[in-house]
Amino acid sequence: TSYWVIVPAAGAGKRMGADKPKQYLPLSGKPLIAHTLENILHWPGLKGIVVAIAADDTEFATLRCAQDARIQTVTGGAERADSVLAALDYLSEREAPETSILVHDAARPLVRVADIRKLLAAAPMALLAQPASDTVKLSQTRGGKTEVRETLPRDQIWLAQTPQKAPLGKLRETLLQGLAENSTAITDEASALERAGFHPELVAACRSNFKITHPADLLLAEALLQHRAV
């Protein structure tokens, strides 16, 4: 079964603190986002990619893969969910509501194709995730201090990654509804699906599929890419 991939790439990369959005920073000789897109172009059954880029983006068009006929762009929005919705709007005018969609962060260049195969074989709503390795504390603030409220059962804690998979129509409906009700709670696709009563399947993925967020993450990604190349 074929599917479309949506790549939100309209963020500013504030936590990276660089002079341009992190998706355009160099990583092993080419922009981070070029690694991500070239990786996706090898996924089995791919129909095409819709990349959401910032309204003032001047860099995307300079990428070599921007010329690939399988890659389209749309203008993203203020939050990640708005960027994903812009791409869903584009696709909903062209594809049936049952069409499978995989949303994958531009900032995750290292996802493995073996994990993509597992995700494709999972339930129609599913996401890659990593079982927590640290003990997880739920916090509360009291008297100006942040303190432990309780320790969550670690064997039930998963850290969400991307891609996150869902049918086009349901994903668009639930994201629109989630944003209208409580936009700050919608930090990934699964959170919108959950609010609507769905329970996406968790698919254990390699921890190298981390999201490049802070400066040290670039160094780690570079080391992993070099390791893979040998």
* Residue 211 binds which of Mg ion, ligand CTP, none (CB < 5-8 A, kind-dependent): ligand CTP
Q: Which is nearer to ligand CTP, 80 or 170 (CB)?
A: 80
CB 28 within 8 A of CB 225: yes
Helix (H, G, I), strand (E, B) or coil at 137: strand
Exposed (0-12), middle (13-18) or buried (19+): which is 153, by Cβ within 10 Å? exposed
Could you give the residue ranges of the DSSP H alpha helices within 41-183?
80-92, 113-121, 168-182
CB 61 within 8 A of CB 52: no
* Residue 200 binds which of ligand CTP, Mg ion, none (CB < 5-8 A, kind-dependent): none
* Residue 106 binds which of ligand CTP, Mg ion, none (CB < 5-8 A, kind-dependent): ligand CTP
For the bound state, the minimum distance from the C-beta of residue 142 to ligand CTP, rounded and expressed in Å, comes to: 28
Note the residues at the interface with ligand CTP (CB under 6 A).
8-15, 21, 23, 52, 76-80, 83, 105-107, 211, 213
Which 11-70 positions form the footprint of Mg ion (CB under 5 A)?
11
For the bound state, the minimum distance from the C-beta of residue 103 to ligand CTP, rounded and expressed in Å, comes to: 9
Q: Which is nearer to Mg ion, 99 or 162 (CB)?
A: 162
DSSP string spanning 25-47?
A: SEETTEEHHHHHHHHHTTSTTEE
